[in-house]
Chain A
Amino acid sequence: AQSVTQLGSHVSVSEGALVLLRCNYSSSVPPYLFWYVQYPNQGLQLLLKYTTGATLVKGINGFEAEFKKSETSFHLTKPSAHMSDAAEYFCAVSDGNAGNMLTFGGGTRLMVKP
């Protein structure tokens, strides 16, 4: 069984500040990890994913995430927040079984203050 925990259902940062959204997972096999973003009244859009290889993954819109096996973490960061980054962010894990089923965390709503 897999699970994903996102610490902090709401995170507020000032424009230009560092964004750090936390994600911890549990998986009995090497995980495949994803971050999705959801803008208001829209579907989910893939930000980035880790499957194999380099543990630091770069995604769209200046976001990146680092897979740390020893800490079972896959935190999402961005050096400088923009107002347009305000959205809900979801971390998800897959163990590669049939159907490529994703297990999602509860989501973190990012608010960016001017």
Chain B
Amino acid sequence: NAGVTQTPKFQVLKTGQSMTLQCAQDMNHNSMYWYRQDPGMGLRLIYYSASEGTTDKGEVPNGYNVSRLNKREFSLRLESAAPSQTSVYFCASSVLSGGWETQYFGPGTRLLVL
């Protein structure tokens, strides 16, 4: 049971390049999330998917797209990377436990946009 996995671990992009961050979970969770983490700002929600086939915007969706490929996988795409998207990106999935959903996080992807 690997939990939540993310690839790649590190990436350097040039401004204008595109890339897809991959996330997969093997815990059979329905809900999945993408966050970005910036110093002093905690984590901010980019997009989430409450179930397979559905996605919704979070707090900071501009410049990103997502795909819920199946129940296990939730990818985040940067179509034209900008330096402002330099950040650490975390994927999470959640399960109903004790009457409330608890989120489990992956190890993160560190992205540098030059």
- Contact present for A4 and B107 (CB under 8 Å): no
User: Once the chains are docked, how many angstroms separate the CA of A95 from the CA of B44?
Assistant: 16
- Which among A32, A42, A96, A104 is the interface contact of B43 at CB below 8 angstroms? A104
Residue from B42, B101, B104 with most neighbouring chain A CB atoms (10 Å): B42
Q: Which residue in chain A gives the minimum CB-CB distance to B49?
A: A99
Instruction: Determine whether A18 belongs to the interface, using a CB cutoff of 8 Å to chain B.
Output: no
In this complex, the interface size class of chain A, counting residues with CB under 8 Å from chain B, is 20 to 34
Q: Are B90 and A99 in contact (CB under 8 A)?
A: no
- A98, B50: Cβ atoms closer than 8 Å: yes
Number of A-B contacts (CB under 8 A): 59
Which of B44, B58, B102, B107 contacts A42, CB < 8 Å?
B107
Check B45 against A43 for contact (C-beta < 8 Å): no
The answer on a CB contact under 8 Å between B56 and A99 is yes
| Majority SS at the chain A contact face | loop
Write out, one digit per residue, whether chain B residues 83-107 have a CB within 8 A of any chain A CB (1) or not (0): 0000000101010001111111111
Q: Any chain A CB within 8 A of the CB of B48?
A: yes
Q: Select which of B4, B58, B99, B104 is within 8 A of A101 by beta carbon.
A: B58
* B48 and A99 form a contact (CB under 8 A): yes
A45 and B41 contacting across the interface, CB-CB below 8 Å:
no
- Residues of B at under 8 Å CB distance from A? 4, 31, 33, 40-45, 48, 50, 56, 58, 90, 92, 94, 98-108
